[in-house]
């Protein structure tokens, strides 16, 4: 078990001498503190295993914001507090957007430190918590489940080590976000991050896309063109869906990784390669290797470190956090005044299986923000659950009972649909989450009950307890 730092241990990051008055305030308050001149020095100390309870960063210029971003990503247990002069309000606002835990106005008072120390102590006793890391532009890493927090810790650790990383997981789980996080925290972060979708192009075009070509190399090559490996020089290349790459091109890629050099198509000279390779696939790797679609030696070359990103259905506790994150993101992007999602909608979202993972959730939230109608979004979730149920049944029928996976998928889809339809009244916190809302009707009549039954198993009457639980409007909060 990790040693728990004292809540009065503070690491101060600033580009100037420690103010004597502030130093006296810290000493009088019984705080133990260390001061470093720059964020890079703080990062070095944290990388060596130092764990302060608080990190206090002085903001004097926009360049300090990059240091804030790196500090927050490196040590998830320490709240990062920023301090600035009252005239630097724009820096403080941007720091809050990045994710600073608190902001302080200089001169910092002892009362402020007491409040922040109490929050730090509460965080220490609470253990793991949600992360919302702003990587770059509108790219965020949002996590609260133990599995994703572990992935984040691993990404932070391997970012500084220049080795290939293989990322596996279903489509839409966030493999590119993890790849970008590794790049942004690596020594190559100031250079290019280049993504290539290996499934989007046939083999011949993909080879020229990766390695470039010389003029006259093939019909239509009227001028020379650099490939992605040249563009990503001294940076990172992310080969998405690499298992879809043609075997012949896999062999060439293997030689490039081994020799750190390549030639353009039609080229006479070799080009040295200084590049970090991150690869990802949504295909079960061992199945692809057994089927001969993916070279075993290439996999071993790429998988110095392997990360598995679990699907959203295996980390349901993150769904409310992700839903709110996307609402805030697209509310600002689209200039809409969508309300925070009500509890009954978050509950239904948590129960749904999300076969499209984050991409499907994000698209649903976009529609919610644009329409601003929680009831309509709830009905859409129910329709999605019905669709998955029917799709699973069709797959099972097509398999003729010979494939065990399809009946299991049908049962899982039905269970998720029932979890939304039969949500107990005690779990619901808003009147719209009744059978009326579920069935898309407007009154509690016999027809509403029929509609709910149609949304359910589709055979016979619902149990009386299920009808009462779904039809009764919940009590107010």
**For the segment 175-195, what is each residue's pLDDT rounded down to a tens digit?**
999 999 999 888 898 999 999
Between 82 and 47, residue with greater pLDDT: 82
Residue 146 has pLDDT above 50, yes or no: yes
pLDDT given at position 123 = 56
Q: Which has more confidence, 380 or 455?
A: 380
- Polymer length of the chain: 477
Q: Is the pLDDT of residue 450 over 70?
A: no
Euclidean distance between CA atoms 223 and 231, whole angstroms: 17
State if pTM tops 0.85: no
Closest by CA position to 267, among listed 318, 313, 207, 322:
207
Measured CA to CA, the distance from residue 313 to residue 302 in angstroms comes to 28
**pLDDT score for 390:** 73
pLDDT at 236 over 50: yes
pLDDT of residue 158: 87
Q: What percent of the chain has pLDDT over 70?
A: 71
Q: Residue 457: pLDDT above 70?
A: no
Q: What was the pLDDT predicted at 400? A: 58
9-127 matches 139-308 in fold: yes
**Could you tell me which CATH number the domain at 9-127 has?**
3.40.50.2300
Q: For the chain, what is the radius of gyration of the CA atoms?
A: 27
178 versus 458: which is more confidently predicted? 178
Report pLDDT digits (tens) over 401-419: 555 555 555 555 555 555 5
Q: According to the model, what pLDDT value does residue 415 have?
A: 59
pLDDT at 86 over 50: yes
Q: What is the mean pLDDT of residues 331-353?
A: 90
CA-CA distances (angstroms) from residue 253 to 42, 304, 315? 38, 16, 35
User: Burial of 472 by CB count in 10 Å (0-12 exposed, 13-18 middle, 19+ buried)?
Assistant: middle
pLDDT in tens, 344-376: 899 889 989 999 999 999 999 999 999 999 999
Q: Which CATH code of 3.40.220.10, 3.40.50.300, 2.60.40.10, 3.30.70.260 fits the domain covering 139-308?
A: 3.40.50.300
- Output the DSSP codes for 5-74: PPTTEEEEE-SSPPPHHHHHHHHHTT-EEEEESSHHHHHHHHHTT---SEEEEE--STHHHHHHHHHHHH
Q: What number of other Cβ atoms are within 10 A of residue 409's Cβ?
A: 21
| pLDDT given at position 289 | 95
Give the per-residue pLDDT at 39. Answer: 84
SS3 content of the chain, % helix, strand, coil (to 5): 50, 15, 35
Q: Is the pLDDT of residue 456 over 60?
A: no
Confidence of residue 70 (pLDDT cuts 50, 70, 90): confident
Q: Return the percentage of the chain with pLDDT > 90, whole number.
A: 35
CATH class of the domain comprising 313-471:
mainly alpha
Distance CA 257, CA 239 (A): 13
Residue 128: the pLDDT is 46
Across 219-232, average pLDDT = 89
Question: 3-state class of 283 per DSSP?
Answer: coil
Bridging pattern class, strands 54-58 and 236-240: unpaired
Chain centroid to CA 182: 12
Query: What pLDDT digit, counting tens, does each position of 278-301 carry?
Result: 999 999 999 999 999 999 999 999
The Cα–Cα gap between 51 and 33 comes to 12
Residue 10's DSSP bridge partners are 33, 54
The three-point CA angle 147-320-440 to 5° equals 135
Look at residue 140 in the predicted model and tell me its pLDDT.
Answer: 79
Say what the pLDDT of residue 470 is.
35
pLDDT in tens, 238-254: 999 999 999 999 999 99
CA distance 349 to 343: 10
Per domain, the residue ranges of the chain are: 9-127, 139-308, 313-471
Above 60 in pLDDT, residue 427?
no
The pLDDT value given to residue 417: 55
Higher pLDDT, 286 or 424: 286
Which is more confidently placed, 343 or 21?
Answer: 343
Q: Which bin fits 84, alpha (ψ -120 to 50), beta or left (φ > 0)? A: beta
Q: What average pLDDT does the structure give for the chain?
A: 77
Distance CA 402, CA 330 (A): 45
The per-residue pLDDT for 241 is: 96
End-to-end C-alpha distance for the chain, whole angstroms: 40
């Amino acid at each position: 078990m990790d040693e728990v730092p004292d809540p009065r241990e503070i690491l101060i990051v600033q580009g100037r001498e420690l103010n004597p008055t502030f130093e006296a305030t810290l000493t009088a308050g019984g705080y133990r503190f260390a001061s470093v001149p720059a964020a890079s020095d703080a990062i070095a100390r944290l990388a060596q295993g130092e764990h302060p309870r608080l990190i206090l960063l002085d903001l004097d210029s926009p360049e300090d914001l990059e240091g804030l971003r790196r500090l927050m990503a490196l040590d998830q247990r320490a709240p990062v507090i920023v301090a600035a002069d009252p005239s630097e309000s724009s820096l403080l606002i941007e720091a809050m957007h990045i994710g600073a835990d608190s902001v302080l106005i200089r001169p910092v008072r002892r009362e402020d430190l007491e409040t922040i120390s109490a929050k730090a102590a509460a965080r220490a006793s609470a253990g793991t918590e949600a992360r919302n890391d702003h990587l770059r532009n509108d790219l965020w890493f949002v996590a609260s489940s133990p599995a994703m927090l572990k992935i984040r810790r691993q990404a932070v650790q391997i970012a500084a080590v220049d080795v290939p990383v293989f990322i596996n997981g279903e489509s839409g789980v966030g493999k590119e976000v993890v790849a970008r996080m590794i790049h942004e925290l690596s020594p190559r972060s100031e250079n290019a991050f280049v993504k290539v979708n290996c499934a989007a192009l046939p083999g011949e075009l993909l080879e020229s896309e990766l390695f470039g070509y010389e003029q006259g190399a093939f019909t239509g090559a009227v001028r020379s063109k650099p490939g992605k490996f040249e563009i990503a020089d001294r940076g990172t290349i992310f080969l998405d869906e690499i298992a879809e790459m043609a075997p012949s091109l896999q062999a060439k890629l293997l030689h490039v990784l081994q020799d750190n050099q390549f030639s353009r198509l039609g080229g006479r000279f070799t080009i040295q390669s200084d590049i970090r390779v991150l690869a990802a696939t949504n295909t079960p790797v061992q199945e692809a290797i057994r089927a001969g679609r993916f070279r075993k030696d290439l996999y071993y070359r790429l998988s110095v470190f392997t990360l598995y990103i679990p699907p959203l259905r295996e980390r349901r506790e993150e769904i409310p956090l992700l839903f709110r994150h996307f609402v805030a993101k697209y509310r600002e992007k689209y200039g809409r005044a969508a309300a925070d999602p009500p509890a009954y909608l978050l509950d239904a979202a948590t129960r749904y299986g999300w076969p499209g993972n984050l991409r499907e959730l994000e698209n649903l939230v976009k529609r919610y923000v644009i329409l601003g109608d929680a009831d309509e979004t709830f009905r859409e979730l129910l329709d999605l659950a019905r669709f998955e149920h029917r799709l699973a049944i069709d797959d099972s029928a097509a398999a003729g009972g010979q494939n065990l996976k399809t009946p299991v998928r049908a049962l899982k889809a039905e269970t998720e649909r029932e979890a939304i339809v039969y949500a107990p009244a005690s779990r619901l916190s808003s009147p719209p989450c009744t059978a009326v809302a579920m069935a898309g009707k407007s009154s509690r009549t016999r027809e509403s009950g029929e509609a709910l039954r149609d949304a359910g198993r589709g055979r016979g009457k619902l149990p009386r307890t299920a009808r009462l639980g779904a039809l009764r409007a919940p009590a107010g909060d």
